[in-house]
Structure 1
Amino acid sequence: MTVLRDAELTAAFDRGAPTYDRLAALAPGHHAQLRRSARRLGLPRGGAGCRVLDLGCGTGASTAALARAHPGAAIVGVDASAGMLRRARAKPWPARVSFVHAPAERVREAGVAGPFDAVFAAYLFRNLSDPDAVLRTVRALLAPGGRLAVHEFALGGRRLDRAVWSAVCRGVVLPLGAVSGNRHLYDHLWRSVVEFDTAPAFAARLARAGFGQVRVLPLPGWQTGIAHTFLARRPGGRPGSGW
């Protein structure tokens, strides 16, 4: 089976939405790692006065991580899957959190307008047909000096990283997919990581898209060498406002 794209992937997420949170929570450190990447945005003053776009927010786990890491920020969560977004909206949120139903490729057409002080994207870019086009959109939505944090499964480039990921998928991910009744989505998870950029390649993609101050930070635990936080800035802004 090949990786899913566009309408097929959205439909798979719609079908998987009722069990997605429960199965994701079985992954050790899932929420803690999201919070770690959200904190790495490093917004000043707890995000007070900042606008943050959570692109590909899913059921809201990444939105919750942002809300906890930056309690003063106004957060807009966007996702292509109506089923996943329905789960997100059903959770209790402060008034500063809102949600919009739209694919990442057409977020501006859905009325989401910048400038944003930061964009957070968790488990998004390896699912896109044209990640470069979405990176251009993200850059346009960010204010000069605005921050991007990408939390993503991107293998470190060693043969061992790929071997560990495949072992985890065969032993945990694919059996969970079978239990959930949505095997295609979990098979996609395995294959989409293997076929996506390595961590150095994605960092180079960010630089080609016009982002500066690109950094690749590992995530600890079993995800070391498998998942990373990528940090970058839209050039501009005030001097001395770097990380």
Structure 2
Amino acid sequence: MTLLHDAELTAAFDRGADSYDRLVSLNPGYHAHLRRSARRLALPDGGAGRRVLDLGCGTGASTAALAAAFPRAEIVGADASSAMLARARGRRGLERVRFVHATAEELTADGGHGPFDAVFAAYLFRNVAAPDAVLRGVHDLLVPDGRLVAHEYTLGGRRADRLVWSAVCRGVVMPLGALTGDGALYRHLWHSVLRFDTAPEFAARMRRAGFDGVRVLPLPGWQTGVAHTFTGRRHPITADGAR
């Protein structure tokens, strides 16, 4: 199938915003895994004095995970879908978050909202047309030694991982998506995982974008081998001012 991109994908997320949270909440461990990945930013003192960007924040589930992990941080959430953002803005506990209506490409290209001490990106990079450019933009938005955590459906590379993902999509995701009338969106999400990087490939992509200390961390449950947390840092400034 042809994947959705740019305005077409944004429109699909706009149409699916009302039912999206209900569907993903049926996924065992969905919110717990977001909280686990958010904590892997490892900001000290509850994030006091730190600025954190939730890039591609969607309906705010990932933003809520950040707010729980770092209650003292300044958090900015950004998404291309106005309908998704409307739900995020209405989510209890996120009143202190500043939300920005912008695509990942727009926000990372102009740097106008940075710099940030940390960037969190959940389910983002396989849904952008130019992931390398967005990764380089994220790198440039970070302060020296700033941290990126990407929480993503990226298959481990085994044939069994592809089989598990497709079985879940055929048996659960697509029937539920069809009931909401958003089958095209959920077909896209299914095939976007199959066509995107494996976990080792995405880690290599992060390194090419300039990130140091890249780590690939598995998630538990049925998502083992299907979803991963990726962590990396921008180069620190050395004593002689080099990066």
Fold conserved (TM > 0.5)? yes
Q: Is the 8 Å Cα contact of residues 108 and 134 (structure 2) preserved in structure 1?
A: no
State the Cα deviation string for residues 67-118 of structure 1 (Å, max 9, x = none).
0011111100000001101111112345531100000000157774211000
SS in 2 for 1:107: helix
Structure 2 residue 130 is matched with structure 1 residue 130: yes
Q: Give the residue type in structure 2 aligned to 1:177.
A: G
Cα distance change, pair 237–72 in 1 and its aligned pair in 2 (3 A):
farther
Cα distance change, pair 112–68 in 1 and its aligned pair in 2 (3 A):
farther
**Deviation, structure 1 residue 156:** 0.2
Q: Is the 8 Å Cα contact of residues 146 and 233 (structure 1) preserved in structure 2?
A: yes
Cα distance change, pair 94–127 in 1 and its aligned pair in 2 (3 A):
closer
Q: Which runs of 5+ in 2 are unaligned?
A: none
Tell me what 1:115 maps to.
Answer: 115
State the Cα deviation string for residues 109-155 of structure 1 (Å, max 9, x = none).
77742110000000000001000110111011000000000000000
Cα distance change, pair 60–208 in 1 and its aligned pair in 2 (3 A):
same
Cα distance change, pair 135–74 in 1 and its aligned pair in 2 (3 A):
same
Cα distance change, pair 19–80 in 1 and its aligned pair in 2 (3 A):
same
Residues 36-185 of structure 1: matches in 2 within 5 Å?
36-107=36-107, 112-185=112-185
TM-score (norm 2): 0.95
Q: Is the 8 Å Cα contact of residues 146 and 237 (structure 1) preserved in structure 2?
A: no
SS in 1 for 2:23: helix
Cα distance in 2 for partners of 1:112, 1:58 equals 20
State the Cα deviation string for residues 218-238 of structure 1 (Å, max 9, x = none).
000010000000000001058
Tell me what 2:35 maps to.
Answer: 35
Return structure 1 stretches of 4+ with deviation > 3 angstroms.
93-96, 108-112
Cα distance in 2 for partners of 1:47, 1:238 equals 24
Q: Which runs of 5+ in 1 are unaligned?
A: none
Tell me what 1:235 maps to.
Answer: 235
TM-score (norm 1): 0.95
SS in 1 for 2:54: strand
Q: Is the 8 Å Cα contact of residues 73 and 96 (structure 1) preserved in structure 2?
A: no
Cα distance in 1 for partners of 2:78, 2:127 equals 15
Q: Is the 8 Å Cα contact of residues 64 and 94 (structure 2) preserved in structure 1?
A: no
State the Cα deviation string for residues 39-77 of structure 1 (Å, max 9, x = none).
111111111110000000000000000000111111000
Q: Give the residue type in structure 2 aligned to 1:159.
A: R
Tell me what 2:23 maps to.
Answer: 23
Cα distance change, pair 25–103 in 1 and its aligned pair in 2 (3 A):
same
Cα distance in 1 for partners of 2:238, 2:34 equals 28
